[in-house]
Structure 1
Amino acid sequence: MKAFVMASSQWKLTDMAEPKAKSDEVVVALKASGINRRDLGLIKRYGDNSAPLIVGSDGAGIVESVGEDVTDFAYGDEVIINPALRWYTNSEAPPAEFDILGMPDHGTFAEKIAISAEQLEKKPAHLSWEEAGSLALPALTGYRALFTKGQLKKGDTLFIPGAGSGVATFLIQFAKNSGARVIVTSRSEEKRQYAKEIGADLAIATDSDWEKELEGETIDLVIDSVGAATFNRSLDVLKKGGRIVVFGATTEDTVELNLRTFFYGQYQLIGSTMGSREELREMLAHMESHNMNPIIDKIYPLGQAQEAFDYLASGNQFGKVVLSINQ
């Protein structure tokens, strides 16, 4: 089968042996796989290892074969992959055995994958293959950050620095579905307009004076994945006693924090990472009840995976970049 792998500090499309299902596994013929920013950084972590590793965390496809102990899925079932490995119930933090699909395990940028049946969920019927194959990691990340950790409720105002990422597009939609006011930032006027089209109430320029632009607003919750470039600016516009949830750092991951300002403001700083299977199922139910669709920016065939990686790395996307497979 064809697969996009990393080996010897390089990306390449190559032939790999077709996977076989163990007794508790299912082989899925993949139809689509979403690319995440996590994938871009894996080659540095993998180093010069010469053994080809299939990357990719998200995917959706059709069950091709099942192991002898599998009872919940059958040939022909349409499924999505849960990339949060071995985290089953909602908890304050992931269990020690938690990992993310796509390293060290083989991932989803391939024509097929063998994976534990515990990591599969039925594909929502209203989603296309590209939508279904791109949602689990970013949507689950956003759902946990917003609801489990951020405790967003109807009437709250949410502030999101950076409007174009896949997670941000899910956050906007989840929050609006829940009756919140949503404010975002972006350097791009085009992205600011897109954000408003999918539900943002206000979109301001990243390089503007946020305190001036947001005068009169009461920010209850900030969800920040940018890092040092926005963290303190976000804190400056957060209401006293407000909550800031951090799930990533696309810029510098070390910030300077004025502790006196922080404790006098009674702010709540909360970390979040991915989510459990329980939250994934809640998230899928939310999407189905609101007939919600992921935002897809561009679709590339598996053979153009490198071009898709380069496009995501450019930061020009609004929403998800997806690989089309076996279509």
Structure 2
Amino acid sequence: MKCIVLDSNHPDGISLVDLKEPVPGRQELKIKIKAAALNHRDQWCRQRKYPNLKDGIILGSDGSGTVVEAGKGVDPNWIGKEVLINPANNWGNNPSAQGADFSILGMPNHGTLAEYICVKMDRVHEKPSHLDDFQAAALPLAGLTAFRALVYQGHLNKEDKVLVTGFGGGVAQMAVQIALSSGAKVSVSSGEHWKLEKALEMGVGAGYNYKADWINEAKTADRGFDLIIDSAMGNTMNDLIEVARPGGRIVVYGATLGNPGEIDARKIFWKQLSIQGSTMGSDLDFKKMLEWVALHKIIPLVDEVFPLENAVAAFDKMKNSQQLGKLVLKID
């Protein structure tokens, strides 16, 4: 079968190779992958910026397809069903945080950028009927991360004024759609004017260019935010503290700008702010996310679809932050 593997000896960092088709073990389903979406962790693996890397591992955490074979102990009625995969493995019994054995599909274990994959049956869910294969592939990791950040950690409610930073990536666009569907008033920030225009088309109330003096603009127009969803961290944290309303919540699911320098600690306690970390989500979060998406007919944004053979171009587009929504590979 054709697949994309990590390859530190190749100038692209990845290779298109042929591997033997996997055979489902006990409690496993074999899935013919139709579409697989990229995530930033795939690019970070390619750039050797991720822990526990292994050459030869098939990358990819997100995938949709059709069940073609059932292993021992699995209901054969799964065969023929259109499905997507929960990429979060071994969350554990604590809903507040993942356990020590938690891992994400695609590194260090084989992932979805392949014609076939075998996964435990409890990782497999029927595809929401309103989504096509590419939209379904774009949903799992981004949808789960956004849902937990907003609903479980952020305690989203319809009276909130919500700010989603860095609009354009997969998680951010899902966070915007989930927040909008709740009835909340949503604003976004981005460094690209065309991305802000797309957000306005989707129904957000305001878009702020973080390359400009957006703080005073946001404080004047929105009078601060009850809930802020952020993936950048770095020295922008003080900006978020500034635009947070008293009693506000800041939920951080990434740190693309690294660690912050000095933090305005006095404003944190004086405004009685909550700053909460969030990563992926539990199995219950995933189930509730799928139910929310189905109920509100949310459709993940797909920026572009590439053939598997052109995976390098998709990775490069992600590296250069040229996408709005998810980059998806079509796997024939």
Shared topology, TM-score over 0.5? Answer: yes
List structure 1 segments (4+ residues) > 4 angstroms apart after TM superposition: 45-51
Aligned to 2:58: 54
Separation in structure 1 between the aligned mates of residue 272 and residue 76 of structure 2, nearest angstrom: 48
**Partner SS state of residue 95, structure 2:** coil
Q: Please say if residues 8 and 48 of structure 1, whose CA atoms lie closer than 8 Å, have aligned partners that are also in contact.
A: no
**TM-aligned CA distance change 1:229 to 1:12, over 3 Å:** farther
Q: Which residue of 1 aligns with 2:238?
A: 232
* 1:275 counterpart = 2:278: no
Q: Quote the offset at 1:262 in angstroms.
A: 1.9
Whether the aligned pair in 2 keeps the contact of 1:90 and 1:279 (CA below 8 Å) is no
Answer whether contact 2:44 2:50 (CA < 8 A) is retained: no
- How far did 1:218 drift? 3.2
Contact 2:305–2:329 (8 Å) recurs in 1:
yes
Q: Which residue of 2 aligns with 1:15?
A: 18
TM-superposed deviation, 1:229: 4.4
Given the alignment of the two structures, is residue 31 of structure 1 paired with residue 34 of structure 2, yes or no?
yes
Aligned to 2:324, which of 318, 321, 325? 318
Alignment of 1:122 with 2:126, yes or no, is yes
Provide the C-alpha distance between the structure 2 equivalents of 1:227 and 1:52, rounded to a whole number of angstroms: 32
Answer whether contact 1:89 1:277 (CA < 8 A) is retained. Answer: no
Equivalent residues of 1:161, 1:234 under 8 A apart: no
- Structure 1, residues 220-248: CA drift from partner, whole Å, max 9, x if none? 01111012142211111101221100000
Q: Which residue matches 1:307?
A: 313
Cα distance in 2 between the residues matched to 1:319 and 1:15? 29
1:181-218 per-position Cα deviation (integer Å, ceiling 9, x unaligned): 11111121110010111221111111222232121523
Taking structure 1 as the reference length, the TM-score comes to: 0.95
Alignment CA distance shift 1:89-1:132 (3 Å):
farther
Tell me, in whole angstroms, the C-alpha distance in 1 between the residues paired with 2:51 and 2:275: 33
Q: Distance in 2 between matches of 1:231 and 1:145?
A: 17
Establish whether residue 293 from structure 1 lines up as the match of residue 305 from structure 2: no
1:15 and 1:80 map into 2 onto residues whose CA distance is 23
Q: Determine if contact 1:184/1:203 at 8 Å carries over to the other structure.
A: yes
TM-fit CA distance, 1:101: 0.5
- For 1:259 and 1:250, locate their aligned partners in 2 and report how far apart those are by CA, in whole Å: 22
The match for 1:206 is 210
Q: Deviations over 1:152-202 (max 9, x none)?
A: 101100012211111111111111110101111112111001011122111
Deviations 1:272-291, CA, capped at 9 Å, x for gaps: 00001111111111111111
* CA 113–318 in structure 1, closer or farther in 2 if over 3 Å, else same: same
Q: Give ranges in structure 2 of 5+ residues lacking alignment.
A: none
Aligned length: 326
Q: Distance in 1 between matches of 2:42 and 2:55?
A: 17
Give 1:269's aligned amino acid. Answer: I
Q: Does 1:265 align with 2:271?
A: yes
Pick from 251, 256, 263 the counterpart of residue 257 of structure 2.
251
C-alpha separation in 1, matches of 2:51 and 2:247: 43
| Contact persistence 1:220–1:239 (CA under 8 A) | yes
Return the alpha-carbon distance in structure 2 between the equivalents of residues 223 and 272 of structure 1.
10
TM-score by length of 2: 0.94
SS of 1:230 mapped into structure 2: helix
1:49 to 1:237, Cα distance in 2 relative to 1, 3 A? closer
Q: Distance in 2 between matches of 1:251 and 1:198?
A: 27
Cα distance between partner residues in 2 of 1:230 and 1:159:
14
The secondary structure found in structure 1 opposite 2:33 is: strand
- 1:160 is aligned to 2:164: yes
Q: Which amino acid aligns with 1:4?
A: I
| 1:13-162 paired onto structure 2 within 5 Å | 13-43=16-46, 44-45=48-49, 51-71=55-75, 74-87=78-91, 91-162=95-166
Q: Is the contact between residue 235 and residue 259 of structure 2 (CA under 8 Å) also seen in structure 1?
A: no
Do the aligned partners of 1:87 and 1:94 also contact (CA within 8 Å) in 2? yes
- Comparing 143-152 with 86-95, which one deviates more in the overlay? 86-95
> What amino acid maps onto 2:307 in structure 1?
P
Q: Letter of the aligned partner of 2:293 in structure 1?
A: M
Amino acid of the structure 2 residue aligned with 1:226? A
